[in-house]
Structure 1
Amino acid sequence: MIHFKAIGKLMGGLLMLLGLLMLPGIGFSYYYHSGDQMPLIYSSFVSMAMGALLFFSFSKQDQIIRKREGYMIVFLSWLFMSIFGMLPFLVSGTLPKLPDAIFETVSGITTTGASVINDIENLPAGILFWRSMTQWIGGLGIIVLTVAIFPLLGIGGIELFVAESPGPTSDKLHPRIRETAKRLWYVYVGLTLLLMGLYYIGGMNFFDAINHALTTMATGGFSTKNASMAYFEIPFIQYVAILFMFLAGTNFTVIYFGLVGKFDRVWKSDEFKAYVIVTTLIILVLSFPVFHFSGENLEKAFRDTAFQVVSLLTTTGYVTADYTSYGHGLTILFFLLLFVGGCAGSTAGGIKFIRHLSFFKNTILEFKRIVHPRAVVPLKINGDRVTGKIITHIMIFLLIYLMTFVMGSVVLSVLGYDMITSFGAVATCLGNVGPAVGLVGPLDNFSFFSPIAKIFLSIIMLLGRLELFTILVIFSPYFWRAN
């Protein structure tokens, strides 16, 4: 039996929190005289009122949260955030059509960064800030924030953290889940503030600095400029963005250990080592062909290569150059980066380095098992043996991910879009990246898609952000069977 009353109370608290997070944009509305303060106020009031109704209706209920409740809460949280998070776009008239508002909001909450807005610089300041805030909220996961704060309201839940982070690793900084969530957010907030300061020092105004800091640390990619990061043709800003995109794509527990001086724990991570080595090699290998095709000087070619590689690997989605103009071969290589993703426990989306690493290491070991069938050849990550259950989980995840990509591309093709665009749109939405290839390249957006296609791609973004299993398990018959 699923305890829906406990879920209802938590959803109420979540909506109240979401409403509160809409309020900072009102200050920018008044400061810049953009006239969008009332839509934000209305949207905040509706969210908090609905949240209060749910919360206090179930405030006396026993808070029994098990694994099934955890998965249901995560699924409903992202659904509720998408529904109520689009209110500022609808009420302000920025995106009056429901499919557009849904797409933009889901893209923000899932930190995908794909957009249907053709003139971003013409948006009112408050709405523009809320657009960036949706990515910052979704960056580390609203459920982690909920786990850190809601115990104060009598709500806890290890199950929520597990459901929000369904990857193959479950490192904790502290045995109490609330302390883990709090420390992750200290790192997240601290790096965001530091980045905002660096952007400001580098030449951005305060509004651009805070918006880009929010979306960089979230690996989201929403920008205040139509040209994205290419607008800021300042080497310092772009190198700072590269560094912090890379950090945002790193497991936050690894960052925490580095900040407290436990460097042995940092380099013990096989995933982090693979992340550093692979990223560096790809940048070095691609820099020279980019230098050849772009006609830029070597430093600019290296910077553009590093920026695009890190942006795509970490699923941030910022662009400083059109990588599809470098020839078909390089375009394919950049397209393949959409299927990598950052580290588990980071704000990045995608398949994640840990799954790729486990898959390739296990594949190599399988050759040894074939030659020595009686030998026991275990897969080890970080020096620890990986159980067969986890290996099976990874293999099934990769298979479902591939099937979702293929089936999603077929659906878009049936809806009338060319094959390259269909591949690109599904790959970038499933990986929560932003730009891709075809008609959704780095210089394009998603405004031309039909309403049905936008809703479909929104579902794909949610599937990718919650790493497939969290949503798909709810639709399995086993989830609803009594214990």
Structure 2
Amino acid sequence: MNPSQSSLSLLDAERPLSKTLSRIRALGFVLGAITCFLSLFMLPPWLLLIFEGDSDRGAFAMAFLLTLGGGSALVGAGYGARMHLRARHLFLLTVLSWLVLSFFGALPFMFTRLHLSFTDAIFETVSGITTTGSTVLSNLPTLSHGMLLWRGLLQWMGGIGIIVMALAILPFLRVGGMKLFQTESSDRSDNHLPNARALAASIGKVYGSLTLMCIAIFWAGGMRFFDAVVHALATVSTGGFGNYDDSFAHFTQPFLVWSGSIFMLLSALPLALYAQSFRNSRKPIWQDDQVKGLLIFLAFIITILSVWLKFQPAYTYMTWEEAFRYVTFNVISVVTTTGFAYTDYTQWGAFAVLTFFFLTFMGGCSGSTSGGIKMFRFQLATRALMGQMNQLLHPRAIREQRYNGRPVSDDVLRAIIAFAFFYCLTVAAIGLALTAMGLDVLTSLSGAATAVSNVGPGIGDIIGPAGNFASLPDGAKWLLAFGMLMGRLEILTVLVLLIPAAWRW
């Protein structure tokens, strides 16, 4: 081999390493930018603590400076790197983003006078950014306003982050449903990135507008302004963190309960459809197949449970309006995976308890901040089942599966089957692991279900609507935090990283 050939071989060997390092720097740059973005959300609670003269202001300042410093270091290390990232790099970037946000977001919980352990701080932060709403905290009114605001902002930031992820990452897996709910403008070109960016901007406007409207309605309905802000952040993000141990039951005004129900429902609808409806009023949002399915399902369940509750011997004193109000709020809260509690529905009898357990898996619409399996998957699975039954009766018939007037490809149906399988497998595995840690069956199963579905409260005396997760062992908290992330990232986003090909950079 002559010297020129030798130098070419050496150059070829160095190129993959150089490209790998460049991609690592690119990932670090994006993670640093996200971390710096997180630090900006720490400013409002910090400034509020300074204004109120609270002793936590120094601790919050330390958390802010560490977060900003860490993000800036990553940005500096990755500055100038070429962003030639492939789909598998986006999956890794998504998972790493939520892990980094969880770590830095936990700093205020550890540094302030709460002095939460690392485990509890991570659990509370993961619960916040995944909009789950499970908590290890009690005596919430004694917390500083800065800390209460931070909990609300974590959920609000996580809510919009979920939408951005659904637009940018999940279409590759065909599990997020965004391919089915894109606006007309984004279907005109194969180059989806500019359209996705414009769609994300319009969704951000809708998200912000819903938040401002919710704050105004809550404030006008009798909440203190601070309570209105925090509860609006938790409502629109379908998160469920509140300022009081009794959650939404702290507010006795029926107007606030009905308002909360409406905004939870509005936030569980596809946010992209709001923007589309504003541009094209020929098709109102309620004519969408997914929205119609969710509304019909909620009306059916609320009617059944309202009748059930009204005729329970312990609740005969209730008027029909009261029974309907209690049921409506709690059903919408669980189905949309918000997790606010208006009453302890586990006291309504075995039928109601089992119904709420099944509702834990439901979820709202794809393209919203809701967790769970989501309505469109149930609808497509039902149509696929009916199609299979018709195929048995008419073997030669050829029927095309359609949704919202569009054909549904077989790979989407296969993705739904895979998602449902791994969803149930994840819940079962976490539930079994929790029982191995000494938890009872009801706590283990409902805890696993509520974590993966990002609902919040489970069932039972420990983690039910009237309890919290503080008494669970540390191992259970880590496992449930992992379940929250798995559920929020639609499971397959994490599992795809286990494939060896995902690590061929």
Aligned to 1:440, the other structure's residue is in SS state: coil
Aligned pair in 2 of structure 1 residues 163, 41: CA closer, same or farther (>3 Å)?
farther
Which residue of 454, 476, 481 maps to 2:499?
Answer: 476
Q: Of 429, 438, 447, which aligns to 2:451? A: 429
Q: Map Cα deviations across residues 121-157 of structure 1 (whole Å, 9 max, x no partner).
A: 1111111110111000001216729x9xxxxxxxxxx
Aligned residues: 471
Give, in whole Å, the separation in 2 of the partners of 1:443 and 1:59: 49
Partner Cα separation in structure 2 for residue 165 and residue 197 of structure 1: 37
Matched, 1:366 2:388: yes
What is the deviation of 1:161? 6.8
1:221-256 Cα offsets, whole Å, 9 max, x none, are 000011100000111111110000001110111222
1:398 is aligned with what amino acid? A
Q: CA deviation at 1:431?
A: 0.3
Superposed displacement of residue 65, structure 1: 2.5
* Correspondence for 2:117: 97
Q: Aligned partners of 1:355, 1:172: CA distance in 2, in Å?
A: 16
Code of the residue aligned with 1:236 in structure 2: it is F
- Cα gap change, 1:325/1:359 in structure 2, threshold over 3 Å: closer, same or farther? same
Give the corresponding residue for 1:208: 227
Q: How does 1:251-270 map to 2 (within 5 A)?
A: 251-260=270-279, 262-264=281-283, 266-270=285-289
Q: Which of 325, 342, 347 is matched with 2:369 structurally?
A: 347
Equivalents in 2 of 1:301, 1:36: separation in Å? 42
SS of match in other structure, 2:255: helix
Identity %: 34
Counterpart in 1 of 2:482? Answer: 459
Aligned partners of 1:44 and 1:244: how far apart in 2?
Answer: 31
Aligned-CA RMSD value: 1.8
Letter in 2 for 1:280: A
Question: Partner of 2:302 in structure 1?
Answer: 283
Q: C-alpha offsets along residues 177-220 of structure 1, whole Å, 9 cap, x if unaligned?
A: 22111111000011101100110000111110000010000000
For the structure 1 residues 335 and 123, does the alpha-carbon distance in structure 2 shift closer, same or farther, using more than 3 Å as the test? Answer: same
Letter in 2 for 1:140: I
Residues 231 and 241, structure 2, Cα contact 8 Å, conserved in 1: yes
Question: How far apart, in 2, do the equivalents of 1:282 and 1:143 lie?
Answer: 27
Asked which structure has the greater CA Rg, the reply is 2
The amino acid that maps onto 2:321 is E
Residues 43, 64 of structure 2: 8 Å contact kept: yes
Output the CA distance in 2 between the equivalents of 1:260 and 1:214: 26
Cα offset, 1:31, TM superposition: 3.5
Query: 1:436: Cα distance to partner?
Result: 1.8
> 1:107 maps to what in 2?
127
Q: Quote the offset at 1:160 in angstroms.
A: 4.4
- Give the deviation of 1:172 after TM superposition: 3.2
One-letter amino acid of the structure 1 residue matched with residue 385 of structure 2: T
Residues 133 and 456 in structure 2, CA contact (< 8 A), matched pair in contact too:
yes
Residue 323 of structure 1 is matched in structure 2 by 345
Change beyond 3 A, Cα 1:141–1:166: farther
Aligned to 1:172: 182
How far off is 1:169 after superposition? 3.1
Q: List alignment gaps of at least 5 residues for structure 1.
A: 148-157
Deviations 1:266-297 (A, max 9, x none): 24421111011111111112111112233322
> Quick check: 1:287–1:301 contact (8 Å CA) kept in 2?
yes
Which piece of structure 1 moves more, 377-386 or 164-173? 164-173
Q: In structure 2, what residue type is equivalent to 1:58?
A: G
Q: Is the contact made by 1:314 and 1:342 (CA closer than 8 Å) also made in structure 2?
A: yes
* CA distance 1:163–1:466, change in 2 (3 Å): farther
Cross-structure match for 1:449? 472
SS of residue in 1 equivalent to 2:454 = coil
Deviation of 1:72 (Å): 1.2
Give the Cα separation in 2 of the matches to 1:435 and 1:233. Answer: 21
Following the alignment from structure 1 to structure 2, what is the Cα–Cα distance between the partners of residues 57 and 167? 33
- Residues 202 and 272, structure 2, Cα contact 8 Å, conserved in 1: no
Change (3 A) 1:356 1:179: same
Deviations 1:315-353 (A, max 9, x none): 000011111001111110111100100000001000000
- Of 49, 59, 72 in structure 2, the residue corresponding to residue 52 of structure 1 is 72
What runs of 5+ residues in structure 2 fail to find an aligned partner?
1-18, 187-194
**Could you tell me which residue of structure 2 aligns to residue 123 of structure 1?**
143
In structure 2, which of residues 37, 43, 56 is the aligned counterpart of residue 23 of structure 1?
A: 43
What is the alpha-carbon distance in structure 2 between the residues aligned to residue 70 and residue 179 of structure 1?
19
Cross-structure match for 1:150: none
